[in-house]
Amino acid sequence: MKYFSALVLLVCCTFAAEAKIWRVNNNAGVNADFTTMYAAVAAATAGDSIYLEPSAASYSTNGMTLTKRLVFIGPGYFLDPTNATEPANTGLQYATKTALLEFFWIAAGADGSKFLGVTIAGSMYGQGVNNVSFERVYFPAGFFFQSGNFDGFSFRKCFMNGGAVINSAAGTQQTNLVIENCIFYNGSYVSLPTLTGSGNIFRNNTIVGGNVFTLPNCYIANSIFGIGGQCTFTNSTIKNNLFQIAQTLPGTAVNNQLSVNMSNVVVGGTTGSLDSRSMLKSGSPAIAAGLTVGSVVTPDCGAFGATDPYRLSGIPNIPSIYSLTVPVSIPSGTSSMNITFSTRNNN
């Protein structure tokens, strides 16, 4: 584990040369900067990066409110081959644990913060903050726009599971929201009746067994809606989507497929990782069914389509070690040892 961490830290330094890198690790016997997330956040300065290293235990937040612009990086998720509930995508990371964050708030001052490759295991609440991005993040609980106005939030290549919801309180307002190449699994959904403006995008997402979505004032394209109820798309542009039911659509909607048998669309089933089950089947009606870009490229619909598709296990887009061989022991007095490791680029 420590070899993996060292490599990632070196890579992080290349894109945050002026900012400090902090290591957080709560595993016994590991020498890191901090063992809790809240302690790391307290010490960090705006612009710093916090690397949350793999652990079976969650990282304590003390219900903190984040008010600094920070970057949080974890190892991804669905990595543990012994976890029967959330089966692993094997061979993607040498580390087999994720980085679990407990419940916390994010508020003004944290504008521009980024979350990459982490699991937000507790609900996360927003209070009037802008330009926050979640990429390759696992949400077992969800995100709640709790108070104030929000502009420029993005969720890209994320996995929502078990009823996780992106929703909002009355009196809030969200503008320029982007949700792209995400998977909504096992009852997860989006309900944003206070979404407003003309810059909202919901594109190339896959919903498998989700609850109904509420997406007003939104550009909705290239997505797969495996939902058994009517969604609400007031004042929205709707193009090249697949719907499980005969979804009611406005007259301006074009190239949508209705009453689609979802068993023909995605792999599904009960084997393999949860996210791999949302990959398209051979011969799927979602293949090359997306909105043609520049009269040249016609992408697949769903999270695995388009130019920046969903990545299994949310592996961060930095080099990582996926194979490591270290001697169990070395003879006394030996001055060196041979270590073999393999890395890959995850862009």
pLDDT in tens, 202-261: 999 999 987 999 999 999 999 999 999 999 999 999 999 999 999 999 999 999 999 999
Task: Say whether pLDDT at 284 is over 80.
Answer: yes
Q: Give yes or no for a contact between 116 and 74, defined as CB atoms under 8 angstroms apart.
A: yes
pLDDT tens-digit readout, 183-192: 999 999 999 9
Spans of all domains in the chain: 54-321
pTM of the model: 0.90
| Range of weakest confidence among 113-117, 279-283, 342-346 | 342-346
H or E, element range at 22: strand 21-24
Query: Residue 280's pLDDT is what?
Result: 98
User: What mean pLDDT do residues 113-141 have?
Assistant: 97
Average pLDDT over residues 134-144: 97
Q: How, if at all, do strands 320-325 and 340-344 pair?
A: antiparallel
Residue 8 has pLDDT above 90, yes or no: no
The contacts found for 231-236 with CB under 8 angstroms, 24 or more apart, are 232/193
More confident residue, 3 or 130: 130
Q: How many CA atoms lie within 13 A of 315 on its CB side?
A: 23
Question: What Å distances lie between residue 282 and 110, 258, 313, 340, CA to CA?
Answer: 43, 20, 22, 37
pLDDT, one tens digit per residue, over 66-119 is 999 999 999 999 999 999 999 999 988 878 999 999 999 999 999 999 999 999
Higher pLDDT among residues 293 and 314, named by residue: 314
Show the CA angle centred on residue 150, arms to residues 149 and 156, nearest 5°: 160
Distance CA 251, CA 87 (A): 42
d(CA 190, CA 166): 5
Residue 10: which residues within 8 A CB-CB, separation 6 or more?
none
Question: Using 50, 70 and 90 to split pLDDT, how confident is the model at 50?
Answer: very high
Closest CA to 324 of 56, 5, 23, 89: 5
- Whether residue 131 is predicted with pLDDT greater than 70 in this model: the reply is yes
pLDDT at 160 over 70: yes
Q: DSSP class of residue 301? A: S
Name residue 210's beta-bridge partners. Answer: 227
The pLDDT > 70 percentage for the chain reads 89
Average pLDDT over residues 113-130: 97
**Average pLDDT value over all residues in the chain:** 91
Percent over 90 (pLDDT), the chain: 81
The position carrying tokens 């659509």 is 249
